[in-house]
Amino acid sequence: MLQHFHVNTPLLESVSMSKMAGTAVYLKMENCQPSGSFKIRGVGHLCQQVGAPSLCGNAGMAAAYVARKMGLPATVVVPSSTPPLVVRRLQEQGAAVKVAGKVWDDANAEALRLAETEQLTFVPPFDHPLLWEGHASVVAEAAAALGPGARPGAVLLSVGGGGLLCGVVCGLKDAGWADVPVIAMETVGADCFNAAIKAGELVTLDDITSEAKCLGAKTVCRRAFELSQSGEATIISELVTDQEALRAVQMFLDEERVLVEMACGAALAAIYSGLIPRLQAQGRLPTPLRPLLVIVCGGSSINMEQLISLQQKLQS
């Protein structure tokens, strides 16, 4: 039997967020995963099929964890924007860490080169059907926890390269919830999905100017863009500022006593910045609205020091 690397995470109702949203808010606590984010679902699933990993970021954290459990070596390539705490955490998981380039796309190019020259298996962080298949389990678990007959009014999540989005759309189909809208959140400056929708084609951002570095893919994966165009799923793409994402991280810490990174703050900001009633007022979400399912994607790129430095950068 194939081993699972991810855990079944808690589904918690948030009273304070429910008040703000005007409907029940359920939090799928992916921050509780062994590697600190949902990435372990897809990366675990993919590594079971393809073997030893080499890649970057929170996906790298998941790959390092899976490799250790499988008794395989892992090389994780990260950009220089990666905080030292992430490099330390990766090394603690036993991974060899290589720093290459400024943003995720640079590190990814180096990981591809290494895979080629050193015959390593390349594990992509978001653009692979096996990752999506793995990520889809987050919806199946939430459906099981909500019980028969339950149906969310919308699912809220963050978009980096679009892997989580593709996985959740898969999961919604499997759960018989294909018509449940997905609210896809990005920060301004890490908004490759929103930019593609506006342009009507895939675009490559010049640079990642947001502090939500783990959302910082310069180009969203083709499948995510196709889903937004094909009508297979209802996807509402929205942006928040870094300040709103950081404020959401702080409020989540105060209200739910959980520290998550900026990438996750983007999804939480949809509730904390009043987006839900605004979308209802625009007729893009119904009123009344069934319960909301928020994917608390987590992230390892945060600690007290990092939080204080973000506060100094963004709130001065």
Decide the pairing of beta strands 11-14 and 25-29: antiparallel
Q: Which is nearer to ligand PLV, 5 or 126 (CB)?
A: 126
79 binds ligand PLV (CB under 6 A): no
56 binds ligand PLV (CB under 6 A): yes
**Shortest CB 261 distance to ligand PLV, Å:** 6
Q: Residue with structure tokens 């889903």?
A: 227
217 binds ligand PLV (CB under 6 A): yes
C-alpha span between 250 and 7 (Å, rounded): 26
59 binds ligand PLV (CB under 6 A): yes
Q: Which of these, 15, 22, 130, 6, lies nearest to 61 by C-alpha position?
A: 6
53 binds ligand PLV (CB under 6 A): no
Binder among 53, 152, 160, 265 for ligand PLV (CB under 6 A): 160
Over its C-alpha atoms, the chain yields an Rg (Å, rounded) of 18
Which x/- pattern over 161-190 shows residues binding ligand PLV (rule: CB under 6 A)? Answer: xxxxx-------------------------
Q: Which is nearer to ligand PLV, 60 or 181 (CB)?
A: 60
CA distances (Å), 110 to each of 20, 60, 276, in order?
44, 14, 40
Quote the Cα angle for 64-81-130, to 5°.
40
Q: Which is nearer to ligand PLV, 279 or 297 (CB)?
A: 297
Which x/- pattern over 111-130 shows residues binding ligand PLV (rule: CB under 6 A)? Answer: --------------xx----
Q: Which is nearer to ligand PLV, 41 or 247 (CB)?
A: 41
Binder among 23, 37, 93, 137 for ligand PLV (CB under 6 A): 37
Binding residues for ligand PLV, per CB under 6 A? 37, 56-60, 104, 125-126, 158-165, 214-217, 261, 263-264, 297-299
